[in-house]
Amino acid sequence: MEQNTNRLNYANEPTLTLERPNTGYGFVTGREITVPERVAPSYAPDVAFKSRFLLAELLGLFFVAFSTLYIFGLPSVLTKPGQMKLMVQRAVKRSVDLVGSLVGLTLCLPFFIIVPILIKLDSRGPVFYTQLRIGVNRRRADRRYHQRNGCENRRGEDRRKEDLMGKPFRVIKFRTMVQDAEKKSGPVWASKGDPRITKLGRFLRKTRIDEIPQFLNVFMGDMALVGPRPERPNFVRDLSTQVEGYTRRLQVKPGITGLAQVEAGYDSDLESVRQKVGYDINYISNMSLWSDIKIMAKTVIVVFTGKGAC
C-alpha cells in the first residue's frame, strides 16, 4: 500500500489538546486529539479590526441622528424644491455683504474725516442725513392682504402697527441738500438743477460719495451691496398702485447700488420709475454672485463718469 506523500509531519510541532466529540447513532463519547498549535484558530481582534468596527458604529449613529433630525426637526419649508439652494444663495450674499461693507468702511475712512469738514464749511446743518426707508418684505404670501375667514385681525398685536409693505429702517447719507429741504414742499423727487441741493451736494451726488455711509446699513443687515434702491414709505404706498410689479422690488434687500442705478440713475418722474422697476425685476429674476460683481464693476464706471446724477 502506497504511502501518501502529501501528509504533513507534525512530530516536532508544539501541540495543544482539543476535545472532539465522537458521535454515532444512540451514543456520544468524548475523544481527545492533538493538532498543531499553529493551525489552531485565533479569535483575538487586532487594532485595524477594532478601528473599522468603531468607525462603522459611529457612522451608524450619525445616520440615525441625522435621519431623526431631518424627519422631526427640519422645517417643512426647507423641503420645498429650490428652497435649500435659495438659502445657500442668501448666506453667500450676506457673507459678501459683510466682508464688502467692512472693506468699504476701511477704504473710505478718509472720506469720513474730510467730507464732514467740507459740509460744515459749505452750509449750515448736520453732516449726516437719515431718512426712513422701506426694506425687504419677509412676510409670507402677503398674509396681511388676505385675512382668513374665522380668524381675528391681530394687527394691533403685531410688531408692525402699520403695514408699510416691508421692513422700515433709517438710511444714512452725507447731507447734500439745505437744512429742512422738504419742510415746505413735503416729500418730492430731486430733479436736475434742484435749488435745494447745495454746491458741495451736487459734487457728492454726482460722484455717489454721499452714499458711502450706507456701508453701515449694509453691515447692520438692513441693506445689501447690490439690490433695488430703498424708497420712502409714502412713495412705496403710492407707486405700488401706479406701477405694475412695484412690490416685487421688496422681495430682496435694497442695495447701495443696483442694475437700475447703473443703467437709469435717480428717479425723476413716474416713467423713470417704471423703467427702473423693469431693471429691478430683471435683477431679481437673474440674481447671482456673478451678476452682483458685474454691477459693482459698472458702479465704479458710474462714479468716475457721473452718469445719471442730478
Domain membership of residue 181 (yes or no) is yes
Domain membership of residue 116 (yes or no) is yes
Return the SS3 of 152.
coil
With b meaning 16 or more CB within 10 Å and e meaning fewer, what string describes 259-271? bbbbbbbbbbeee
Please give the pLDDT value at position 272. 83
Interatomic CA distance for residues 303 and 224, integer angstroms:
18
Task: For residue 174, give the H/E element and its range.
Answer: strand 168-174
Interatomic CA distance for residues 188 and 196, integer angstroms:
11
Q: Look-up: residue for cell 444714512?
A: 172
Q: Kindly give the confidence (pLDDT) of every residue in the chain, 310 residues in length, as a single tens digit, with 9 standing for 90 and above.
A: 445 544 545 455 555 555 555 555 555 555 555 555 555 455 556 778 888 888 888 998 988 888 887 777 666 656 666 677 778 888 899 999 999 999 999 999 999 999 999 999 998 889 999 999 999 987 754 444 444 444 455 555 545 556 778 899 999 999 998 887 766 666 666 666 677 889 999 899 888 899 999 999 999 999 999 999 999 998 898 888 888 889 899 999 999 999 988 887 677 678 888 899 999 999 999 988 999 999 999 988 888 876 655 5
> Is beta strand 15-24 parallel, antiparallel or unpaired with respect to 27-36?
antiparallel
In the structure, how many helices (H) and strands (E) does the chain have? Answer: 9, 6
The residue among 219, 285, 217, 294 whose CA lies nearest residue 251 is 285
**What is the CA angle 229-233-237, rounded to 5?**
100
28, β-bridge pairs: 23
If one counts every other C-beta atom within 10 angstroms of the C-beta of residue 53, the result is 11
Domain membership of residue 149 (yes or no) is no
What radius of gyration do the chain's Cα atoms show? 37
Q: Look-up: residue for cell 401706479?
A: 242
User: How many domains does one find in the chain?
Assistant: 1
What are the pLDDT digits (tens) for 197-216?
899 998 998 888 999 999 99
Structure-block grid coordinates of residue 308: 445719471
Please give the pLDDT value at position 54. 87
Q: Nearest 10 degrees: CA dihedral of 70, 73, 75, 79?
A: 10
Half-sphere exposure of 160 (CA within 13 A, CB side): 13
Domain membership of residue 131 (yes or no) is yes
Interatomic CA distance for residues 308 and 310, integer angstroms:
7
Please give the pLDDT value at position 147. 45
- Which range of residues forms the domain containing residue 296? 82-139+161-305
For residue 285, the Cα-to-chain-centroid distance in whole angstroms is 16
Residue 161 contacts by C-beta under 8 Å, 6 or more apart in sequence?
A: 155
Burial of 159: CB neighbours in 10 Å, binned 0-12, 13-18, 19+: exposed
Domain membership of residue 32 (yes or no) is no
Domain membership of residue 72 (yes or no) is no
Please give the pLDDT value at position 144. 46
Domain membership of residue 168 (yes or no) is yes
Instruction: Quote the DSSP letter at residue 231.
Output: B
Domain membership of residue 153 (yes or no) is no
What are the pLDDT digits (tens) for 19-51?
555 555 555 555 555 555 555 455 556 778 888
Between the alpha carbon of residue 91 and those of residues 25, 80, 144, 288, 289, the distances in Å are: 78, 18, 27, 12, 11
Please give the pLDDT value at position 77. 58
Return the SS3 of 56.
helix
Q: Look-up: residue for cell 422690488?
A: 249
